[in-house]
A and B are shown apart, each in its own frame.
Chain A
Amino acid sequence: MNLFAQQLINGLFIGSVYGLFAVGYTLVFGVLDILNLAHAAVFTLGGLSALWLAQHAGWSIWIAFPAATMLAGLLGLLLNAVAFAPLRHRSDSQFSGLISSIAMAIVFEALSLGLFGARAVRFPAGTVKVHIWQLGPSVTITSLQVSIVAVVVLLMVALTLFLKRSRAGKAIRAVAENERAALLLGIDVRGIIAFTFFISSALGGAAGILYGLYFDSLGPDMGRSIELKGLAVIILGGMGSIPGAILGGLAFGLSEVLTVAISGTSNLRDAVAFMVLFAILLLRPSGLLGRARMREA
């Protein structure tokens, strides 16, 4: 039972990182109806550059974290300018945008290989002081886990408030709803789309840093393992839905650890997750919290 409780806790923590990653995906999809397959590469670069700032520039993680997050956001602007904006008015922009984002993913991955090398690296010891709290017999929770969830919750609350209340957030929602109408109302659609990429990529970069801290290992291929999971999470939660992405992330994290806990091996971990994804697509293609119209996308 204790093992079970411990697994539940671990699943919630890793699930919140998946959720944060997926929010970036779903934000761009909600606004543009395009999958940005370079998101995982931005995730990697975000994590690796935070590591570099902490290790080689000797910054505290509390400064390196926001700096690397901003850097990831800038990569998002670059991504939009190079790979998405030029294709926007092509009839096949869904396909060609997908491919150009893959091209940028390859370029970003080459960049992270060139800058940071191919080896798996870790944050220097003591980057974050870790306390371990005993919740029960053999159920523990670390301060690192708590701060990860705190950061995720903070970012999500900030994002939600921003989208609900601020002028720019309302403009993003307007563009997502109907680009043409937004343009007619005098919204700077191109600027809003670029800004959406900035936020999306900054969140992706933040997820990369938290992922690296949690697993204590970063490398140029770390994005590959999360890319498919991120896609599964946004389908699960509903394309374009932010609460859906968080919920989907948590569900995915839990399903992973529970499959391992119940079956006793890690072989089936991904199989269960993808079967669930498959079933969701067939039974409720709009996802748990998605809007029905998205099905036509």
Chain B
Amino acid sequence: MEHLVQFYAIYGSLINFIGLNALLALSLNVTLAAGMLSLGNAAFAALGAYTAGILTVHYHLPFIPAIAAGAILPGLAAVVLGLPVLRLKGVFLAMATLAFGEVVRIAAVNLEITGGAEGLTGIPNVTNVWMIYLALALAAYFVAVLRRSQLGWGLLSIREDETAAACLGIPIFRYKLLAFVIGAMLAGLAGALYAHLNYLITPRDYGFFIAVDLLIYNIVGGTRAWYGPVMGAALLTALPEILRGIGVAAGPIRMGVNGLILLLVILFLPNGLASLINRPRAVTATPEASGQRA
């Protein structure tokens, strides 16, 4: 027990961050399940963080309602954003959500209620490690159930072939919007928890590079099951610490090794880390499919 306490004293913040990043990665996983490449989930997390933070700091709301609001408001924002944007596909959807993310970041810098560039400070520190992991466990369970539901199969068929899915009578747009909103709410929840863990949120906390990180967690971990993004987030969040542990000096070398490991996983584990546990059929394109571009 004493060892456990000591371990937590040293690695507590790392453990917390693994949980939060895994939650964020799961939020993107829901949108990726429908083949939608969104770079907006970091912005949804920022919305959740600021909503919950502002509610507790300025309006002295209790923790639970503030967290709930932190999940709901990004969900509403996702409806408003998704209605026009989800018609776009692939890189174009990524760019539109990226532009949304930048607008959110710039708004946070310029608004008064968000505390401007210095960020919102004095957020009560309420979030605990068990809350993070409870939220993560519930989210993981939810994603696992979702995958086997009618919605889950619908999303998968949209990802594989949207035209064929439409011919099967799947309400494409409604399903996509639903996945987008669920992802946004999970991201908002992670943001709200983060805000109450860290005393402080700044506009830089959820910028473009975080949005890209979420995608990296998913691809490195594997997008086909709930544990993929969790594994990806855990490995990549802990990687700098692991490298430090085995004596890789800080600075450019650690950064380079970090990049190389990412590259190796992409090149040699096509379905991500999750394929180490449970090998699904390797999905390689037939020459016909890869030779023909849309």
Report the bound CA distance from A103 to B261 in whole Å. 8
Contact B266 A297, beta carbon cutoff 8 Å: no
A281 surroundings in chain B (CB, below 8 A) = 85, 88, 92, 95-96, 99
Report the bound CA distance from A110 to B84 in whole Å. 39
Interface residue? A186 (CB, 8 A): no
The B-contacting residues of A in range 26-80, CB under 8 angstroms, are 29, 33, 35, 37
Interface residue? A89 (CB, 8 A): yes
Interface residue? B103 (CB, 8 A): yes
The B-contacting residues of A in range 88-111, CB under 8 angstroms, are 88-96, 98-100, 102-107, 109-111
Binds B, one of A154-162, A199-207, A227-235, A249-257: A227-235
Q: Interface residue tally of chain B, by bracket?
A: 35 or more
Query: Given A86, A94, A180, A282, which contacts B291 in the complex, CB threshold below 8 Å?
Result: A180
B9 surroundings in chain A (CB, below 8 A) = none
Interface residue? B280 (CB, 8 A): no
A-B contact count (CB 8 A): 148
Question: Looking at B103, B215, B253, B259, which has the most chain A CB atoms within 10 Å of its CB?
Answer: B259
Report the bound CA distance from A239 to B199 in whole Å. 42
Interface residue? A135 (CB, 8 A): no
With both chains docked as a complex, state the minimum distance between the C-beta of B101 and any C-beta of chain A, in angstroms: 9
Binds B, one of A121-129, A210-218, A272-280: A272-280
Interface residue? A267 (CB, 8 A): yes
Query: Given A35, A94, A274, which contacts B106 in the complex, CB threshold below 8 Å?
Result: A274
Contact B266 A232, beta carbon cutoff 8 Å: no
Q: Taking A180-B291, A267-B109, A295-B89 as contacts, is the C-beta distance between A90 and B270 under 8 angstroms?
A: yes
Query: Given A89, A106, A227, which contacts B290 in the complex, CB threshold below 8 Å?
Result: A89
Interface residue? A285 (CB, 8 A): yes
With both chains docked as a complex, state the minimum distance between the C-beta of A202 and any C-beta of chain B, in angstroms: 22
Interface residue? B285 (CB, 8 A): yes
With both chains docked as a complex, state the minimum distance between the C-beta of B265 and any C-beta of chain A, in angstroms: 9
B251 surroundings in chain A (CB, below 8 A) = 113-114
Interface residue? B150 (CB, 8 A): no
B278 surroundings in chain A (CB, below 8 A) = none
Interface residue? A87 (CB, 8 A): yes
Interface string of B89-113 (1 = CB under 8 A from A): 1111001101110110011011000
Query: Given B95, B103, B283, which contacts A271 in the complex, CB threshold below 8 Å?
Result: B103
Report the bound CA distance from A33 to B290 in whole Å. 12
A89 surroundings in chain B (CB, below 8 A) = 284-285, 287, 290
Contact A278 B96, beta carbon cutoff 8 Å: yes
Interface residue? B181 (CB, 8 A): no
Contact A297 B92, beta carbon cutoff 8 Å: yes
Interface residue? B80 (CB, 8 A): no
The A-contacting residues of B in range 236-290, CB under 8 angstroms, are 251-253, 255-256, 258-260, 262-263, 266-267, 270, 283-285, 287, 289-290
With both chains docked as a complex, state the minimum distance between the C-beta of A244 and any C-beta of chain B, in angstroms: 14
Query: Given A83, A100, A102, A268, which contacts B212 in the complex, CB threshold below 8 Å?
Result: A102
Q: Taking A106-B258, A111-B252 as contacts, is the C-beta distance between A228 and B212 under 8 angstroms?
A: no
With both chains docked as a complex, state the minimum distance between the C-beta of B281 and any C-beta of chain A, in angstroms: 12
B99 surroundings in chain A (CB, below 8 A) = 232, 274-275, 277-278, 281
Contact A297 B262, beta carbon cutoff 8 Å: no
Q: Taking A103-B262, A111-B252, A231-B98 as contacts, is the C-beta distance between A278 and B103 under 8 angstroms?
A: yes
Q: Taking A102-B216, A282-B84, A297-B92 as contacts, is the C-beta distance between A33 and B293 under 8 angstroms?
A: yes
Interface residue? B220 (CB, 8 A): yes
B259 surroundings in chain A (CB, below 8 A) = 103-107, 109-110
Q: Taking A95-B219, A96-B270, A179-B291 as contacts, is the C-beta distance between A106 and B103 under 8 angstroms?
A: no
A102 surroundings in chain B (CB, below 8 A) = 212, 216, 262
A88 surroundings in chain B (CB, below 8 A) = 290
Interface residue? B10 (CB, 8 A): no
B267 surroundings in chain A (CB, below 8 A) = 86-87, 100
Report the bound CA distance from A275 to B260 in whole Å. 36
Report the bound CA distance from A29 to B91 in whole Å. 10
8 contacts between A and B (CB under 8 A): A87-B267, A88-B290, A89-B285, A98-B215, A99-B219, A114-B251, A274-B99, A274-B106
Which residues of B are in contact with A by a Cβ distance under 8 Å?
A: 37, 84-85, 88-92, 95-96, 98-100, 102-103, 106-107, 109-110, 208-209, 212, 215-216, 219-220, 251-253, 255-256, 258-260, 262-263, 266-267, 270, 283-285, 287, 289-294
> Told that A107-B256, A274-B102, A277-B99 touch, could you supply 8 new A-B pairs with CB distance under 8 A?
A90-B270, A90-B290, A104-B259, A110-B255, A110-B256, A114-B251, A180-B291, A228-B102
